Structure 1
Amino acid sequence: MKKLIMITALLMCFVGSAQKKKPKKIVPPPPVKEVPPPPKIEELPFEDDEKKCFVFKAEEQKDSLTYVTETLLEYGWNNNLARMIITTYNYDSVKKNQADENGEILALTQNLQFINGTYKIEKDVFTFTPEKSEKFKTRLFKITYKSKTKKVDFLTDENNNKLQTGECLEPMVKMSM
C-alpha cells in the first residue's frame, strides 16, 4: 500500500507540474507603406533620340587644303547631362577629287574633342555649361521652333551658326590584340 500511495503521489506531481505550452504569437507583417509615384520629369519638346543631337559643319579653304570643323551637340540622354563633340580634320582638295574620280577612298586624320557638361533650357535659350569651366566657355544657343508646333527646328549659337538636327554618334568599341 505504501508503494501504491507513492506511485499515486508521483503521478500527481507529474500531472500537476506538467503545463500546457502556450502557442507562439504570430506577429502580423508590418503595414505596407504606400509608395508615392515617382516625380514627374519635365518632358522636353523632342520626339526621339535623333532630335536631341544637333550638328554644325564649317569648311574653310586655304590654298589647296580644306579645313573642316564639325560640332555635334547631344543631350537629354541622362538627367541634365550634355556633351559637345568637336571634330577637326583637313584634306587636299585636289587629291580628294582624284580619289573620287578613281573610286578610291581618301584616308583622313580626325581629331575628336569631347566636352562633357550640363544643359539648361529657359525662355527658348539652351545653355551648355562645360564641366571644365576654366578650359571651355559656357555656350548659349537660341532655340527656333517649327511654325505652329512646339518641335525644335534648329539651334543658333552666338556666331549665328545654325545647328541642324542630326544623328548622334554611335558608341565605338576598340578591340586591341
Structure 2
Amino acid sequence: MSGKGAPELSVKNCGDLRVAVVAALWHERIMDGLVDGALRALHELGIDEPTLLRVPGSFELPVVAKVLAGRGYDAIVALGVVVRGGTPHFEYVCQGVTQGLTQVTVDTGVPIGFGVLTCDTEEQALDRAGIEGSTEDKGHEAVTAAVATAATLRTVSEPWRQGRGAGA
C-alpha cells in the first residue's frame, strides 16, 4: 500500500487562503472521487470557496497551475490520473506532468498538492480515488499537503518581511 508512512498533518487558521483545484477529465469515476475528496478536505479546513477548474487531461495541469500561481493563489491542487497502457505514452505523460508541476511550484513559490495518480491499472487508481471501497483518498491528501505547505510558507515569510523590511 502506498499510504504507509504518511504523516498526520494538522492545519489550522487557513480559512483565508485562496486555493484552486485543477482536475483532469479523463477517467470520470476516478476523477469524481478525487475532486470530491479535495472539496471535502477544503471544507474541513474552512476554505469554502475554492476555485475549481477542469482540463482535458493530466498533461494540461501544469499550464493552468502556472497561470493560477501568477494570479495570487496561495495553494493549488492538481488532480489527474494516468493509467499505464501498452505504449511509452504513460511514461511521457507522467514525466511531463511531474516535471511541469515541479517547475511551476519551484519557480513561483506556490505550493502544489500533487494528486496525480500514476497507476498500472484502473483498479489501483480506484483504490486511491477516495470512493466507496477505496483504501486511500489522494484528493483529500493533496489538499492537506498543499494547504499545510502554504501555511508553513506564511510563517516563514511574514516574520522575514517584518524583520528585514522590503527588498531585504
Same fold (TM over 0.5): no
- Richer in helix (by share): 2
> TM-score normalised to the size of structure 2?
0.26
> TM-score normalised to the size of structure 1?
0.25
- Richer in strand (by share): 1
Select the structure with the greater relative contact order (CA < 8 A; seq sep ≥ 6): 2
Rg larger for: 1
